């Protein structure tokens, strides 16, 4: 029986991951944790944890007999640029705390499986932009991306050197109707739906032809759980797997919204986030994920837009906060 701890459970991925894991393993076996107020999202237990507090994490792992730990707490690309030192400290030390804990538990005969999310932000301007391969030049330009690249190297090191069972995905931009725009460069693809449902013209901070890889949240959650459930011998990549969902640009997304919601209007005023987006891939080659653990995306643009327009509220309401 798995006992699972999700740190960063109040975030965009965490909130929906806790819900999915609770359905799979039982609510009593999933502990939601974050630095903020209590939120359960389907779990029956909630603990307040600062991921920078290694002692607190170890106490919770021991108390509940945790066998799987998802470390999702982080500062994202745009918010990270506003506080680079804070972003580096949180993103790197949080990962190191859980890797060290897993190393110690493994040495004591108490294996602890780790999931940590990487990102397309780990790539950079010299990375091949179309069908970006699993193994490619990585020269990130943001502190968020730099922390993700360094984190991938740490994950692979802890697996190779200490046998820590750590697994990771380079997430594309994640789209969800349950979370508001958080602090990521791809968040235009969430904000656009909120404007559309309010009947407002949307001003996009990226140019119309800025194609980026994206993934709808149900596919992102399915990929995460599928990777964690895969037998260890099938997980050949211990840095982070490319996982592709779909790729589109703001113009293509707006056109599909208009097809389903006539009258929607968009205008473009690229800002500082454009420079970040210009260094990221247009599409990802996820051959390794497909071959190793059977990954395949299932949700296309038309279905994504239909579901977002159905579920995004027409008026602002209290939603989950992105990590």
Domains and CATH numbers, the chain: 4-172+217-242 (3.40.50.720), 174-214+245-311 (3.90.25.10)
Q: Read off the pTM.
A: 0.93
Per residue of the chain (323 residues), give pLDDT as tens: 999 999 999 998 999 999 999 999 999 999 999 998 877 778 789 999 999 999 999 999 999 999 999 999 999 888 899 999 999 999 999 999 999 999 999 999 999 999 999 999 999 999 999 999 999 999 999 999 999 999 999 999 999 999 999 999 999 999 999 877 776 889 999 999 999 999 999 999 999 999 999 999 999 999 999 999 999 999 999 999 999 999 999 999 999 999 999 999 999 999 999 999 999 999 999 999 999 999 999 999 999 999 999 999 986 543 333 33
* Catalytically annotated residue among 46, 144, 158, 171: 144
Query: Tokens 């690229």 sit at which residue?
Result: 270
Q: Which of 149, 158, 75, 47 is nearest to 112 (CA)?
A: 158
- Could you report how far apart the first and last alpha carbons of the chain are, in Å? 28
Q: How deeply is 26 buried, as exposed, middle or buried, from its count of CB atoms within 10 A (0-12, 13-18, 19+)?
A: middle
- Cβ count within 10 A of residue 228: 20
Report d(CA 124, CA 106) in Å as an integer.
Answer: 35
Q: Is 157 a catalytic residue?
A: no
């Amino acid at each position: 029986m798995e006992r699972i701890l999700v740190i960063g459970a109040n975030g965009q991925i965490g909130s929906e991951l806790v819900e999915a894991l609770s359905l799979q393993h039982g609510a009593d076996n999933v502990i939601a944790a974050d630095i903020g107020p209590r939120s359960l999202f389907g779990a029956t237990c909630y603990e307040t944890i600062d991921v920078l507090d290694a002692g607190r994490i170890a106490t919770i792992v021991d108390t509940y007999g945790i066998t799987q730990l998802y470390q999702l707490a982080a500062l994202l690309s745009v918010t990270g640029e506003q506080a680079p030192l804070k972003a580096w400290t949180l993103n790197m030390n949080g990962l190191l705390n859980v890797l060290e804990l897993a190393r110690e538990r493994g040495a004591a005969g108490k294996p602890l499986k780790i999931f940590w999310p990487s990102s397309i932000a780990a790539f950079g301007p010299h990375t091949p932009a179309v069908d970006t391969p699993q193994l490619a030049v990585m020269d990130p330009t943001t502190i968020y991306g730099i922390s993700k690249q360094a984190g991938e190297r740490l994950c692979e090191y802890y697996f190779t050197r200490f046998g820590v069972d750590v697994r990771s995905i380079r997430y594309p931009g994640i789209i969800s109707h349950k979370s508001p725009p958080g602090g990521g460069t791809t968040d235009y693809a969430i904000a656009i739906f909120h404007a559309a449902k309010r009947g407002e013209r949307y001003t996009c901070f990226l140019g119309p032809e800025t194609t980026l890889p994206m993934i709808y949240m149900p596919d992102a959650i399915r990929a995460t759980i599928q990777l964690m459930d895969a037998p260890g011998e099938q997980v050949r990549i211990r840095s982070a797997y490319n996982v592709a969902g779909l790729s589109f640009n703001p113009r293509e997304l707006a056109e599909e919204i208009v097809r389903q919601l006539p009258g929607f209007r968009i205008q473009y005023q690229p800002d500082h986030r454009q420079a970040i987006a210009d260094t990221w891939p247009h599409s990802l080659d996820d051959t390794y994920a497909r071959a190793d653990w059977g990954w395949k995306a299932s949700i296309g643009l038309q279905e994504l837009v239909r579901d977002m327009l159905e579920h995004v509220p027409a008026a602002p309401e209290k939603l989950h906060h992105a990590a």
